Amino acid sequence: DADVTQTPRNRITKTGKRIMLECSQTKGHDRMYWYRQDPGLGLRLIYYSFDVKDINKGEISDGYSVSRQAQAKFSLSLESAIPNQTALYFCATSDLWDTQYFGPGTRLTVL
Amino acid sequence: SQQGEEDPQALSIQEGENATMNCSYKTSINNLQWYRQNSGRGLVHLILIRSNEREKHSGRLRVTLDTSKKSSSLLITASRAADTASYFCATDEGGTYKYIFGTGTRLKVLA
């Protein structure tokens, strides 16, 4: 089984809808991250969490919110989706030696 | 704004040749990492170099770090078709464990 899983893997939704992307990990890491990837722009950090009670904004947090339900679970929500949030979203965890482990990604399309 | 900028944006070489890609960054760092991404998939960690290291090897990979120039290079020796992927550098901005990724180098290795 994969160490970092993301659900759903693909999602098509409409403008204005609320969307939740979920991430689970079995690596036992405290640090978790959400990124979005757009063509030609690399990955941009949305939110990160160093433990259940520590959540921080990244470069592009506007329009997004997160919830760290447990050490193993970190969810990303789009409260009211808009077309320019169409992107590939990745969850990642990080160990004490700073290596990041990525999930397979969620391809989100907002119409 | 992007912390890391990779150069070149795209690189095409023949199998067996060496591939060199470069990364520049803006702030102080604890470490710099290189990741590989196969088309549309999650990123895979390749190698990490800490700010007090100047060179590191892992198999066919060689990474250098010049903190005075805020730059790093990744060398892949004796490239193979399977090395075809995008390569990203990532730095922890200001030593905060908040990772910022570059825009990536797209490497194509021709058989």
* pLDDT band at residue B4 under the 50/70/90 scheme: low
**Residue A29, H or E segment:** none
- For residue A39, the model assigns a pLDDT of 80
Q: Is the pLDDT of residue B108 over 70?
A: yes
* Lowest-confidence region among B1-5, B37-41, B85-89: B1-5
Q: Quote the DSSP letter at residue B42.
A: -
Of the candidates A33, A31, A26, A30, the one whose C-alpha atom is nearest the C-alpha of residue A2 is A26
Mean pLDDT of chain B: 91
Q: Which two tokens stand for residue A66?
A: 């997160």
Contacts of A25 in chain B (CB under 8 A): none
Average pLDDT over residues B3-18: 88
* pLDDT band at residue A1 under the 50/70/90 scheme: low
pLDDT tens digit string along A31-64?
999 999 998 778 999 999 999 999 999 989 999 9
Q: Do B97 and A58 touch (CB under 8 A)?
A: no
Contacts of B45 in chain A (CB under 8 A): 99-101
Contacts of A59 in chain B (CB under 8 A): 100
Percent of chain A past pLDDT 70, that is, above it, reads 98
- For residue B27, the model assigns a pLDDT of 87
Q: Do B97 and A56 touch (CB under 8 A)?
A: no
The 10 Å CB-count burial string (b at 16+, else e) for A17-53 is eebebbbbbeeebebbbbbbbeeeebbbbbbbbeeee
Give the separation between CA B91 and CA A59, rounded to whole angstroms.
14
Position of tokens 């960054």? B25
Please name the residues between 16 and 55 in chain A that touch chain B, using a CB distance below 8 Å. 31, 33, 35, 40-45, 48, 50
* pLDDT band at residue B1 under the 50/70/90 scheme: very low
Q: Is the pLDDT of residue A82 over 80?
A: yes
> Nearest CB to B101: which of A42, A101, A105?
A42
Q: Are strands A106-110 and A10-13 parallel, antiparallel or unpaired?
A: parallel
Question: With 0-12 CB in 10 A as exposed, 13-18 as middle and 19+ as buried, what is B85?
Answer: buried
Please name the residues between 20 and 79 in chain B that touch chain A, using a CB distance below 8 Å. 30-31, 33, 35, 40-45, 48
Q: Which two tokens stand for residue A110?
A: 């907002």
B42 min Cα distance to partner chain A (Å): 5
- What is the chain B residue with the closest CA to A60? B1
Average pLDDT over residues B23-48: 91
> Nearest CB to A40: which of B48, B97, B103?
B103
DSSP string, B57-89: EETTEEEEEETTTTEEEEEE-S--GGG-EEEEE
